[in-house]
Structure 1
Amino acid sequence: MKKKLLFSLIISFIVTMLIACSQTSNSTDTSQSSGSESEGGSTEISQNTEPVEIRFGGGYATEETLWLLDIAGEDLAPNKGKSYTLNISQFRANADRLNAYQAGQLDAGSLGQGASMLAHAQGIDLKVVTVMSKDTPDVGFNTSFMALEESEIESIEDLKGKTIGISDFRAPADLWTRSALRSAGLDPDKDVKFAITPIPAMTEAVKSKRIDVGMFPQPFFAEAEASGEFKTIFTSKTGIPLDEDFLVIFFDPTFITENENAVRDFLADYKAVVDYYVENGEEARQMIIDAGKVQADPAIYLSMEDNNRSVYLDIEGWEAVQEIMVNDGWLDAPFELNELLDTSLLPAQ
C-alpha cells in the first residue's frame, strides 16, 4: 500500500513539473514574438542600441563647420548622440592623420584634396564623402601666403632664394605654392626652400624670420592683416585659378559598410550645420569661440571673410586637380575618381 502511494506521488510530481515547464516555454515564446512584431525590431532593442562612436582626425584651421557640429545641440544636429557620437582628435598635418588612420586609431578625418588622391594611389583604403572647405576664385576667402610688411619681398619673383613655410608636403599648400612659383617662371625644386611649419606657428615663424613667407588660412590671415605687420605675396588661386574642394572629409570604407546609417546621419547633421554656418556666420563663429574651439580675437574672428563652404563635391574640379598632379609627377597616372569619391551617402541636393 505504501509503495502504491509513493509511486502515485512521484507520478504526480513529474506531471506537475512537465506542466510548469510547458507554461514557462509558452511564456518565453510569447515574449519573443511580441518583441519582433515590427519590421525594424522591438522598441526595447532600438532604445537600448548604443550610438556608434566616430573617431575623427581633424586639424587646426578652416574646420569651423566640424567644430560647430561637435558643439551643436539637438536642434541643429538631431542625430548626434543618438545614432552616432563624435570623438575628435587634432593632428598637425595630413601625414599624421593618415598614420593614425592606418594604425586603426581613426574611423574618419579631414584631409587635403591632393593628399586624398595620393593616399588612394598608394593603396590606402578610404572614401571621400564630402567637402569641408572650398577654395574658389572670387568666392569667399582664398588662402594667402604672406611676408613681413617691412621685407623687400613684393612679388613672387622676389622669392628666389627664400624659404617658404607650408603645412605639409604633398598637401594643398605645397601644390598651391609650386603652381604659383611656376606661374612666375621660378623652379620650386631649385629656386626656393620649403619649411614644414604648423599653421598655429606660422605667424611667429615669419616674424622671427625663420621663414620668409608663410601660409595663412583663416583666422590666422585676419589676425595677421589686422596687425599691419604682414602683406600678401600670392594666394592659393595665383597658380591654380579653379574651384577646389581643398579640404575634404573621408571615412574608412569598412566603417561605412558596418555603420551606414550612422554615417548617413552624421552627414545629414553636417549638412544642416553647414547650411546654418553659411546663413549665420557671425553667430556660428561666436558659438565656436564660446565653446573654446578657437582662441582668437572676437572682433577679428567674427567678421572675417571665410572660405566658400558646401557639402557637395565638385567632380570637374577633382578632374582638373588630378591632371595637375599627374603633370607635376605627384601621380604616375590618373585613376577613376569614383574609386575614391562616394557621394551616395549625402542628402539629396
Structure 2
Amino acid sequence: MNMHRRRWIRRALAVAAMVSTSFALGGLATPAAADPIKIRIGWSTMPGHMIPVLYSNPSVLKHYGKSYVVEPILFRGSTPQITAMAAGEIDMAAFAGTALAFAVNNAGLDVKVVADIIQDGVGDYHSDTFLVRADSGINKPEDLKGKRIGTNAIGSASDTGMRVLLLNKGLVDKRDYTSIEVAFPNIPAMIEEGKIDMGMVVQPMSDKLVKSGKFKVLYTIKDSVGPSELVFLTARNDFLQKNKQAVMDFFEDHVRAMRWFMDPKNKTEASALIGKFMKQPPENFDYMFTTADYYRDPFLIPNIPNLQSMVDASVKAGALPAPFQVAPKHVDLSFVEEAKRRIQASEGKTQ
C-alpha cells in the first residue's frame, strides 16, 4: 500500500470517528428535550379559584416539570388581568363574562374560554353573598340608594352581579350609589366600621359573619343573574396554538389535581394544603367541595349557556355596552375534553 493511499485511509477513518462521536454526543441525533414551558396564570380569590394550590401535590401530577411549570400571579379581580394579558405578562386568566367581553372588544385580544373555575348558584350550591350590618336598616336592594358599596374590581364577576341587580332595581352607579374598590379580605372590616354599607364576602368568612348575628345577607348573585358560569379560565389563543402539546399535558394535570381535591377520601390532606396556603386552620375549609361551596364541573368543562346568560343579563342591565356572543368564536374546550379522555382512559372508562 503506497503512502498516498495510507494517508487517505487515515483521513477517512478520522472523519468516520468524528461523525460517530457527533452522533454519540447528540450533535446529529434526535434533539434533546426542550425545557418545560412556563404557564403564567392569573387568579384573584382563594380558596375559590384554587390555582395557587392545585400543583402542590406532586404525586397527582404526571407532567409538571417535564413539559410545563406554572407561575400563579395574584390580581385584585378579573379586569386587571386584561391589562396584564394584553402586555404579555400572563398566558391564562381567571375571567368573568364582562372581562371576556372587554378583553375582546376593548383590548382586541384573541382569547378563548378553556376551562371551568367556579359556577355560582347551581342547584343547592353556594351563591356569592352581599352582606350588610344587621343593624344597618338596609333590608332590600332599593335601600342602597345613597350608600357606599365595596367591590373588589370594576367588571369582576361579583361587581357584575351587583350592578345587574341594582340596575334592575333602578339604581345607577354614581347617580344613586358610590362603588369603592376594596380587596376581598378588607370588605368585612370596612362594613363593620361603617366605611362601606355593603360588600360581597367570600366563603368561609360569609357564613361565619352571618352566624355571628352582626351581619345579614341582602341578596346573592343567583338573585341577580340566576345560575352562572361565574369565573372561568381564559387563555391567549396564540399561546395555546404555539404550545399545544404542553398545554394538553398541563390540562390533564390541572383536571387531575382538581379531581383529587374534590375527592372526599382526600378531604383531610386537601384541607391541610389549603389551610397551609391560607395560613388558617384546616377545619376552616371543611365546607369546601360541599353544597356550601361553589359548584365545579367534575372535568372542569365550563357551562357556556350559563356564561352567555350572564353576559346577556349584563348587556340588558347596561353593564356591557353591546351584545357579545361567547361561542363558538371565543371558546376552545378541546384541552379539557382531551384531559377528560386521558383521565377516563387511565381509569378504564370510555365515557
Equivalent residue in structure 2 for 1:179, among 160, 164, 175: 164
Number of matched residues?
Answer: 330
Residue in 2 aligned with 1:215? 200
Residue type at the aligned position of 1:315: I
Give distance in 2, aligned partners of 1:151 and 1:114: 31
Tell me, yes or no, if structure 1 residue 325 matches structure 2 residue 351. no
Per-residue CA deviation, residues 72-119 of structure 1 (Å, 9 max, x unaligned), is 222x22222222111112111223222222222212121223211221
Residue in 2 aligned with 1:4? none
Give distance in 1, aligned partners of 2:6 and 2:28: 33
How far the C-alpha of 1:219 sits from its partner, in A, is 2.5
Do the aligned partners of 2:92 and 2:234 also contact (CA within 8 Å) in 1?
A: yes
Residue in 2 aligned with 1:14? 7
How far the C-alpha of 1:150 sits from its partner, in A, is 2.3
Distance 1:56 1:209, change over 3 A: same
Residue type at the aligned position of 2:325: F
Distance 1:278 1:91, change over 3 A: same
Residue in 1 aligned with 2:346? none
Do the aligned partners of 2:116 and 2:301 also contact (CA within 8 Å) in 1?
A: yes
Structure 1 SS opposite 2:114: strand
Do the aligned partners of 1:144 and 1:234 also contact (CA within 8 Å) in 2?
A: yes
Tell me, yes or no, if structure 1 residue 206 matches structure 2 residue 191. yes
How far the C-alpha of 1:306 sits from its partner, in A, is 0.9
How far the C-alpha of 1:194 sits from its partner, in A, is 0.9
Distance 1:301 1:229, change over 3 A: farther
Structure 2 SS opposite 1:234: strand
TM-score by length of 2: 0.84
Q: Which protein has the larger Cα radius of gyration, Structure 1 or Structure 2? A: 1
Per-residue CA deviation, residues 268-315 of structure 1 (Å, 9 max, x unaligned), is 11212222233327435423335x321335443323621111211212
User: Where do 1:269-280 residues align within 5 Å?
Assistant: 269-280=253-264
Per-residue CA deviation, residues 30-63 of structure 1 (Å, 9 max, x unaligned), is 6599986xxxxx5x834xx322111122213343
Give distance in 2, aligned partners of 1:114 and 1:285: 32
Equivalent residue in structure 2 for 1:108, among 85, 92, 107: 92
Give distance in 2, aligned partners of 1:91 and 1:315: 24
Give me the CA root mean square deviation: 2.7
Residue type at the aligned position of 1:20: L
Distance 1:32 1:229, change over 3 A: same
Residue in 2 aligned with 1:92? 76
Equivalent residue in structure 1 for 2:113, among 128, 133, 144: 128
Residue in 1 aligned with 2:149? 164
Residue in 2 aligned with 1:344? 334
Do the aligned partners of 2:55 and 2:257 also contact (CA within 8 Å) in 1?
A: no
Give distance in 1, aligned partners of 2:171 and 2:301: 35
Per-residue CA deviation, residues 214-265 of structure 1 (Å, 9 max, x unaligned), is 1112233134234432111110011212x21111111221211121111111
How far the C-alpha of 1:180 sits from its partner, in A, is 2.0
Tell me, yes or no, if structure 1 residue 152 matches structure 2 residue 112. no
Structure 2 SS opposite 1:250: strand
Tell me, yes or no, if structure 1 residue 293 matches structure 2 residue 277. yes
Do the aligned partners of 1:160 and 1:191 also contact (CA within 8 Å) in 2?
A: yes
Residue in 1 aligned with 2:347? none
Tell me, yes or no, if structure 1 residue 119 matches structure 2 residue 109. no
Do the aligned partners of 2:133 and 2:214 also contact (CA within 8 Å) in 1?
A: yes
Give distance in 2, aligned partners of 1:65 and 1:274: 8
- Quote the sequence identity (%): 22
Distance 1:185 1:336, change over 3 A: closer
Provide structure 2 residue ranges, at least 5 long, that are not aligned to the other structure: 341-350
Residue type at the aligned position of 1:323: D
Equivalent residue in structure 1 for 2:268, among 280, 283, 289: 283
Equivalent residue in structure 1 for 2:32, among 45, 48, 51: 45
Do the aligned partners of 2:111 and 2:237 also contact (CA within 8 Å) in 1?
A: yes
Residue in 2 aligned with 1:306? 293
How far the C-alpha of 1:64 sits from its partner, in A, is 4.7
Structure 2 SS opposite 1:54: strand
Do the aligned partners of 2:55 and 2:61 also contact (CA within 8 Å) in 1?
A: no
Tell me, yes or no, if structure 1 residue 262 matches structure 2 residue 246. yes
